[in-house]
Amino acid sequence: MSKIFLYPVLALILFISSCGKDEKRSDAFGNFEAVETIVSAEATGKLIDFNIEEGQVIDKDVKVGSIDADQLSLKKQQLEAQKNTIKTKFKNVFSQINVYQEQKKVSQVEKNRIEQLLKDDAAPTKQLDDINGSINVLNKQIASIESQNSTTMQELKSLDVQIQQVQDQIDKSAVINPVKGTILMKLAEQSEIVNYGKPLYKIADISMMELRVYVSGEQLPGIKIGQTVKVLIDAGKKEFKELEGTISWISSKSEFTPKIIQTKEERVNLVYAVKVRVSNDGSLKIGMPGEVIFK
């Protein structure tokens, strides 16, 4: 073989060798993801206030909009007026009971006096019969009014429940952000008529991202939850940016159903999902590819 032919062959071998080394630089590959939450309307009506923008960072429990609740407020006022009317009726019933209770006390004192006179044979038996009859009538009148009072209390409780239901609907007319994160997508606009369950926006906490990668059964024994790993992301055509990550989850099952009987060679071909948590310095995006080197 001539030297002229030898040099291109050596160059080709070195190129193939370097490519092979590049392909083996990482142990696993995958894409970054985050928990995305779709916030939906919990009431039906006109979206009268909705001040959010895509890319905006919002804290948890912040009010970001509101749905028209004027009719609900009017309904609540009506129920409260009914409740006040019944309360007035309840006070009148209670006053009547007090009157009959006082009359019963007076009659009881008179009964005790007559019983004492009967012991001394100083009063006729008919007086005792008359006073017992009066007390029995008063007891029946009190029981009747107490029955009315029970009905009134049930009416008040029913109105209280209705008022609570309306107030709950009013509270849900306010759009409250459930999680701290970045607005990924705005799905509705101010002044739109929205129905219960309509998606309003999508939000995710991207301050901490997860890189989902897949490892073979052969790699599985060498990794564990809590292990620190190197994460590589593209920083140019041939350059990579290195970040630090932590394994937060390892799937307990392979990604496909294995055969009943497997050889050792078949077992190492199974792939398992692994999640690596990585602090986002602003360079990570949902769906971005990433690579992992297990230390």
Domain spans of the chain, in order of start? 26-35+206-294, 38-69+174-204, 70-171
Q: Mean pLDDT across the stretch 176-194?
A: 96
Distance linking the first and last C-alpha atoms of the chain: 45
Q: Distance between CA atoms of 200 and 43, rounded to whole angstroms?
A: 12
Confidence grade of residue 265 (pLDDT, cut at 50, 70, 90): low
Check residue 189 and give left, alpha or beta (phi > 0: left; psi -120 to 50: alpha). beta
Give the pLDDT score at 46: 96
| Residue 220 identity | L
Residue 164 has pLDDT above 60, yes or no: yes
**Comparing 26-35+206-294 with 38-69+174-204, is the CATH topology the same?**
no
Which residue would you say has higher pLDDT here, 224 or 115? 224
| Residue 1 identity | M
Q: In percent, how much of the chain has pLDDT > 70?
A: 86
- Those residues whose C-beta lies under 8 Å from the C-beta of residue 141, and which sit 6 or more positions away, are 100
Helix residue spans in 29-124 (DSSP H): 70-119
Residue 7 has pLDDT above 50, yes or no: no
With both helix axes pointing from N to C terminus, report the angle between 125-172 and 70-119 in degrees, rounded to the nearest 10.
Answer: 160
Give the pLDDT score at 267: 52
Q: Distance between CA atoms of 154 and 108, rounded to whole angstroms?
A: 32
- CATH fold for domain 38-69+174-204: OB fold (Dihydrolipoamide Acetyltransferase, E2P) (2.40.50)
Give the pLDDT score at 212: 94
- CB of 23 within 8 A of CB of 17? no
> For tokens 């609900």, what's the residue?
72
> For tokens 């309360």, what's the residue?
87
Window from 22-26, 171-175, 182-186, 257-261 with minimum mean pLDDT: 257-261
- CATH fold for domain 26-35+206-294: Elongation Factor Tu (Ef-tu); domain 3 (2.40.30)
Give the pLDDT score at 260: 42
Window from 96-105, 190-199, 278-287 with minimum mean pLDDT: 96-105
Confidence grade of residue 6 (pLDDT, cut at 50, 70, 90): very low
Residue 213 has pLDDT above 80, yes or no: yes
- CB of 181 within 8 A of CB of 57? yes
The pLDDT tens digits of the residues spanning 34-57 come to: 999 999 999 999 999 998 999 999
Give me the numbers of helices (H) and strands (E) for the chain, helices first please. 4, 14
Q: Distance between CA atoms of 111 and 113, rounded to whole angstroms?
A: 5
Coil, strand, or helix at residue 253?
coil
Give the pLDDT score at 82: 93
pTM > 0.75: no
Q: Distance between CA atoms of 112 and 130, rounded to whole angstroms?
A: 13
